[in-house]
Amino acid sequence: MKRLAVLISGRGSNLDALLSAIQRHGWPIAVVAVISNRPNAPGLEIARAKGIATEVLDHTQFQNRKAFDAALAQKLETQSPDLVVLAGFMRLLTAEFCARFRNRLVNIHPSLLPAFKGLETHQQALDAGVRVHGCTVHLVTAELDHGPILAQAIVPVHPDDTAEVLAARVLKMEHEIYPTAIAAWLSGQLMIQDDRIINRGEGAFPTEFRSCRLHPDLA
Ligand code: GRF
């Protein structure tokens, strides 16, 4: 059984999609902890409702980023996670933390990286006038929204889109690609070579993994 720890800050829809996918597919993956840096994150309720252990590590109670990350790392290590999943965890992580969990830390970012790093990615996409947008699952390095890419999903941008409408279109695809990318990584189907992800085509358990997903309107 592979052990996952999930870090959240808010809504938790990716956490919900992950828990549902693990159950639906019967993957040998256990979410051993959900940790939020915000005490009122709605995602905590999602985890509790599914019987997952939750913890709060309130960043406002720490003197600085380094102290918070050290406490977080310590808490995580007690769970011996095979992978730490960032699911809407809205904090920058120190280089020390990223190094400690090197190749054991994964994130989903709501853009087609390397385009539109940082916040408000959907508005960035609209402002740039791009015709396609999407989301990216990647291993986390010390550099913001950077690191070897496991999977991407592409959605169309329509002329009358608002940031909210576009965000909803992307989020639906996030919920599809994040769980399968995580399962593929944990099953050994994916490996890292020269800072890039190689798909070996088979792993210890089936994942229906596709490294590039198209929104149905583009297929
Ligand atoms: C998602 O859009 C994710 O890509 C970004 O933060 C958002 C989290 O949403 N990193 P949720 O908390 O999973 O609903």
pLDDT per residue, tens digit, the chain (219 aa), is 999 999 999 999 999 999 999 999 999 999 999 999 999 999 999 999 999 999 999 999 999 999 999 999 999 999 999 999 999 999 999 999 999 999 999 999 999 999 999 999 999 999 999 999 999 999 999 999 999 999 999 999 999 999 999 999 999 999 999 999 999 999 999 999 999 999 999 999 999 999 999 999 998
Residue 138 exposure: Cα atoms within 13 Å on the Cβ side = 23
Report which protein residue has its CA nearest ligand 1's atom 9.
88
**Measured from the CB, is residue 11 less than 6 Å from ligand 1?**
yes
Backbone angles phi, psi at 7, to 5 degrees: -105, 130
pLDDT at 219: 82
Report which protein residue has its CA nearest ligand 1's atom 3.
88
Q: What angle do CA 209, 210, 213 make, to 5 degrees?
A: 135
Tokens, residue 129: 């006038």
What interhelical angle do 163-187 and 13-25 show, nearest 10? 40
**How far does the centroid of ligand 1 lie from the alpha carbon of residue 56, in Å?**
18
**Measured from the CB, is residue 91 less than 6 Å from ligand 1?**
no
User: Residue 138 catalytic?
Assistant: no
**Measured from the CB, is residue 108 less than 6 Å from ligand 1?**
yes
**How far does the centroid of ligand 1 lie from the alpha carbon of residue 171, in Å?**
8
pTM over 0.85: yes
pLDDT at 33: 97
Backbone angles phi, psi at 138, to 5 degrees: -145, 155
**How far does the centroid of ligand 1 lie from the alpha carbon of residue 200, in Å?**
28
